[in-house]
A and B are shown apart, each in its own frame.
Chain A
Amino acid sequence: MISLVRTEFVKAAVRMRSLVIAALLVGLPTLIVVAINARGRRVNNDNGEGLFRLAQQSGLLIPAAVLSAMSGFLLVVVAGTLAGDSVASDATWGNLRYVLMRPVPRGRLLVAKAIVAGVLIWTCTVLVALAALVAGIVLFGSHSVVVPALPGLSGGFVLGTATLLGRVAIATLYVAFGYTALLAIGTLFTTLTDTATAAVGATIGVYIVSEILDSISQLGTIRYGFPTHYMGAWQSMFTDNHYSSDMVVGIVVQLAYLVVFGTAAIIRFRTMDIRS
């Protein structure tokens, strides 16, 4: 299993696409932080909303603000690409049949590919947070944050530097874990087609549809089962000074998707004819 993970990691990580993604995930947070700083200096009384408003007090809160901006789409695209591409890209190259003509257990190969995609998704999320943290500290310093009592914020409390750092770490891990369902769905989709772009597009499409449906409150409790419903639950750590129970539910929902779609993917991959 270790050798499979290692070989799959080399195939996925050592390619131009990965370098472009890494550059984007470092560059964009840096750009966002610079823009926040420039805007704050030029326009009086326009400090943005929510986390972006608070983040100007301390670079330690910047990662949370950047994650809130990037986790809903850009990181979804990156995670969907990594998950949906894992088997289908090998099939597109025609390399999959050669790997499977070795005595390589198919289930184990798929798990190795999913592990590699998962590790890369986590790495991407951490990269965004770290880039934002470094840029934030450079431009805004590393102070405590006073959360005022404002509309939309429960407010009236102070977040110390140690608390901020700890909660940013938890937020980063929660956001990264929030792509577990996407990983599982993408892993199933990547076994359904030999075209990598189709698998990636379908994976991202599921998330977009989930977000659209989740915004329709008339759907009621059904929305609680959508993979995107609890993705923003971590923000209460900064705006309301408490760990929302929704974070726990969110983790359970992600695990449920992992079990259901992961099992389906393994069954499909073990029994399918390799036609590519």
Chain B
Amino acid sequence: MATSESVVVVDGLWKQFGDVSAVEDLSFSVAQGQVCGLLGPNGAGKTTTLRVLMGLERPSRGNTRVFGHLVGPSAPVLARAGAMVEAAAFVPHLSGMRNLQLWWEAGGSRWRDADVDGALGVAGLGDAVHRKVRTYSQGMKQRLGFARLLLGRPELLVLDEPTNGLDPGEIREIRELIGRLTSGGATVLLSSHHLSEVEQVCTHLVVMNRGRLVRSGTVTEVIGSSGSVYVEVDEPARALDVLAHVPGVAGVQPQGDGLLVDLRNGRRSDVAAALVGAGLRLETIMATQRLEDAFLELLEEGNGDTRPARVAS
């Protein structure tokens, strides 16, 4: 649900290319300070959604708002956002520094207001920033792209596959960078195929498939909304009997000191309620599946699910 604190609001967004719908009735919101991961397989509509959000494409229906302002081509509110959509791209015959300066000044801003030192500190390109971009590796371009989106210290960062082309060390740097930025109050919306990265970096998730919203919420909610949970109680043997009668529980098996409950058709809260209701002392309950499992399960579910998707809270 969009709130007054929502930095990004996507409301009933449709984007069609001829007869093909890239995005269908998509709604979600991202609140101040969240790191929201936009997940989905290829063709899910993630990049199209980000393009509309940054004013590059016009919606067929619906709208997007950033900081409460409607977004369209050249919307003034875009000055408060930094974005990297698809690969970082530059004018190849100019130096990295010249690219940053021209890009910044094209928006009518003064170069001295860009906080270029802070942005370059993040890029870590050293003297290479004065070399022509055509001599850069993909990783260097990506880092220069980060420097560009950080110019002027934007309040919202929109990142489309930000770690593409980076080595593991650089990916870790980017992860730490995102952490630093959000601790400074920035809001981040990022799409990625690297599910483990998303799981480590994001606080919230929006899962898309075939242009539609499949699920949204906190990472814990999305991961734990289906799959299995691990529980520890004071009387595991009795818990086995109790759980066997809980609707939606597909199976229970002992694991270590606790029980692994297959919740393919049920909810974690039902498990907790049943155990507590039976007088058992519930010591631990946690989702056991990783984001990858939940993601694939949600897509499978979404492929046959025609129910309206829930709006992010």
Contacts and interface: CB of A to CB of B under 8 A. Distances in A.
A265 to B, nearest CB: 15
A102 B58 contact: no
A104 interface: yes
Given A15-B93, A102-B79, A271 B58 contact: yes
A274 B105 contact: no
B303 interface: no
Interface stretch (B49-57, B234-242, B252-260): B49-57
A97 interface: yes
B191 to A, nearest CB: 15
Contacts of A109: 106
Indicate the size class of the contact surface on chain A. Answer: 20 to 34
B75 interface: yes
A106 to B, nearest CB: 6
A10 B78 contact: no
Given A3-B105, A7-B106, A101 B94 contact: no
A90 B90 CA distance: 9
A105 B57 CA distance: 14
Give the dominant DSSP class at B's interface: loop
Interface residues of B, number: 32
B103 interface: yes
Given A16-B93, A273-B56, A11 B102 contact: yes
B98 interface: yes
A11 B89 contact: no
B200 interface: no
Contacts of A104: 74, 106-108
Interface string A250-276: 000000000000000000001101110
Contacts of A11: 91, 94, 102
Interface string A79-122: 00000000000100111011111111110010000000000000
B90 A95 contact: yes
A274 B106 contact: no
Interface in B55-96: 55-58, 73-79, 81, 83, 85-87, 89-94
A14 interface: yes
A15 B90 CA distance: 14
A95 B89 contact: yes
A86 B216 CA distance: 42
A94 B89 contact: yes
Contact of B54 (A14, A93, A101, A106): A101
A6 interface: yes
B148 interface: yes
Nearest to B87: A94
Given A93-B91, A274-B51, A274-B56, A99 B103 contact: yes
Nearest to A269: B73
A14 B75 CA distance: 30
A102 B78 contact: yes
B164 to A, nearest CB: 13
A10 B98 contact: yes
Contacts of A7: 102, 105-106
A233 interface: no
Contact of A103 (B56, B75, B83): B75
Contacts of A105: 74
Question: Which are the 10 A-B pairs with shortest beta-carbon distances?
Answer: A94-B89, A102-B107, A273-B57, A274-B56, A7-B102, A15-B93, A105-B74, A103-B78, A101-B54, A7-B106
Interface of B: 51, 54-58, 73-79, 81, 83, 85-87, 89-94, 98, 102-103, 105-108, 148
Given A10-B102, A90-B91, A99-B103, 12 more contacts: A3-B105, A11-B91, A14-B93, A14-B94, A93-B91, A95-B89, A100-B55, A100-B74, A101-B83, A270-B73, A273-B56, A274-B51
23 contacts: A3-B105, A6-B105, A7-B105, A14-B93, A14-B94, A90-B91, A95-B91, A98-B90, A99-B103, A100-B55, A100-B73, A101-B78, A101-B81, A101-B83, A102-B78, A103-B76, A103-B78, A103-B79, A104-B74, A104-B106, A104-B108, A273-B56, A273-B58
